Amino acid sequence: EPEVTQTPSHQVTQMGQEVILRCVPISNHLYFYWYRQILGQKVEFLVSFYNNEISEKSEIFDDQFSVERPDGSNFTLKIRSTKLEDSAMYFCASNLAGGGKNIQYFGAGTRLSVL
């Protein structure tokens, strides 16, 4: 069964460094998303992406964040200058969004640790 793939599973970085989290969505899906989950807290929406542009973003998704679909398969989240509070689990999701389905399928997540 097709699945969303995220790499790496765990990323450790120093404060102030740039990180890129990578995702391969399900191949025929049209919408892509990033969410984050700080340890012990609820999952929070960051951004949605469709047709090579941002569709929707939350207040969390400030200028430090950017997303890109650099080729036909990858979808990336870049954090420009990481802060301690960026430490969290980051989930990618994808959605076919047609035919009334509208189901978001999640990857296994990337745990980001900022030291």
Partner 1 sequence: AQTVTQSQPEMSVQEAETVTLSCTYDTSENNYYLFWYKQPPSRQMILVIRQEAYKQQNATENRFSVNFQKAAKSFSLKISDSQLGDTAMYFCAFMKHDRGGADGLTFGKGTHLIIQP
Binding stretches for partner 1 (CB under 8 A): 30-31, 33, 35, 37, 41-48, 50, 55-56, 58, 89, 91, 93, 95-97, 100, 102-109, 111
Closer CB to partner 1, 18 or 68, in the complex:
68
Closer CB to partner 1, 20 or 103, in the complex:
103
Instruction: For the chain, list the strands marked E by DSSP.
Output: 5-7, 10-13, 19-24, 31-37, 44-50, 53-57, 65-68, 75-79, 88-95, 104-106, 110-114
Closer CB to partner 1, 79 or 90, in the complex:
90
Please give the structure tokens belonging to residue 102: 């509208």
